[in-house]
Structure 1
Amino acid sequence: MNLELNIFVTLALTMLVTAILGVIIEKVAYKPLRNSPRITALITAIAVSYLLQNIMLYVVGPEAKSFPQIIQNKQYTIGSVSIGQMEILLLGTSLVLMVLLQFIVQKTKMGKAMRAVSIDTKAAELMGINPNTIISFTFLLGSALAGAGGLLVGMYYNTINPMMGTAPGLKAFVAAVLGGIGVIPGAMVGGLLIGMVEVMISAYGNSMIRDAVVYFILILILLIRPSGLFGKSNKEKV
């Protein structure tokens, strides 16, 4: 019981710290660029990413650090299928967070305001919604979930380093595009599909090209179905 409590306390504290960091970054780096072209925000995102990575490189050094083993990865076998306790914890936590996020976005007043601002900021403002508050909340929510993801990755691999978020971040983007941008369950399905593809490629002895295959899938989905597997095509009526 104490072990489980430690896991969830660590998860809650991690999400709290990253949420606060996300809000600070939004206020400092993004809010002044609110009315700038979208390419400016994209460049800023890349710059902030490298800034955070290099700050951590300076603070903790480039060497990988061992991550405390919070739980024993006990294996369970059902027929010919074997799954570890760690995999169950990661999948269960991810599902809970996904359901919670879906509930916030679809059912709460703040979630409705988020969707309104994403569609038309000016119209939302005319309806009494403060876009600055909504955008800050979005950064808070996204940063908290990113912190949870980082913790789960560290638990799974038992090691962390300042550059560890680059590859998972890019693959998360691919998963979101594959499932459909803005479709939360679709992003999770996309992530599971990408994971299955990577495992199959590694199983057949071609682990060196698994990342290339993932990005090839991104190119294919953008060419064939840009809206993703679960997204809806928005055709402009003339």
Structure 2
Amino acid sequence: MRQIFLDTETTGLDPNQGHRVIEIAAIEFNNRQATSNRFHFYVNPQREIDAAAQEVHGITLDFLNDKPLFVDIAADFIAFINGSELVIHNAPFDVGFLNMELGKIGMEKLESYCDGIMDSLKFAKEIRPGQRNSLDALCRAFDVDNSTRSLHGALLDAQLLGEVYIQMTRGQEAFTINFEEDSSKAALQSVDHGDLIVTQPALDEVEAHNSYLRSINRTDGW
């Protein structure tokens, strides 16, 4: 399963007030393992950055003046996330900004290009009700090292989110089986290894088990 852990930084809090994206980072995980594939760009917003926002991420307009516009990186961004599940902490915030940016250049909403969006903040609140569930709080709770995080930054935050999410969802990994071999070979078999006998499940048993796991995931809010 391909998942993309995504974060953005912005000029302010509300895209409806003309605020823009100034940094995008996306980190790829495949079957719950981080890969070397990542997408990361700073973006010229062509507008001022609110002082309060700059205090959070430390990014200045002078730094962004020679960076590409969103339209220049949009196609590569969509190609990177295409068909994956997005995992975003406080997803409505980032999705709102990205949909605004996509709309400005005549492209479809983010949801049109990905295979679902998981809000990790919502998920954290479900499994940790009544507790602080900011990214820093979750790093502390799940022993993820965030000692280099003095300011918000999309790339570091996406990396930390990936690590936190894997820790939050441990024990919920789905069992997988290789179906590339001829299905006739998947019939019930017993292999003798001395005193140990390993029995392989039949296809219908595997499917019944996976169906049960999917029903549990739906019940748990996945």
Superposition TM-score, scaled by structure 2 size:
0.29
Superposition TM-score, scaled by structure 1 size:
0.27
Q: Which has the higher contact order (CA 8 A, sep 6+)?
A: 1
Q: Greater Rg, structure 1 or structure 2?
A: 2
Bigger fraction of residues in helix:
1
Bigger fraction of residues in strand:
2
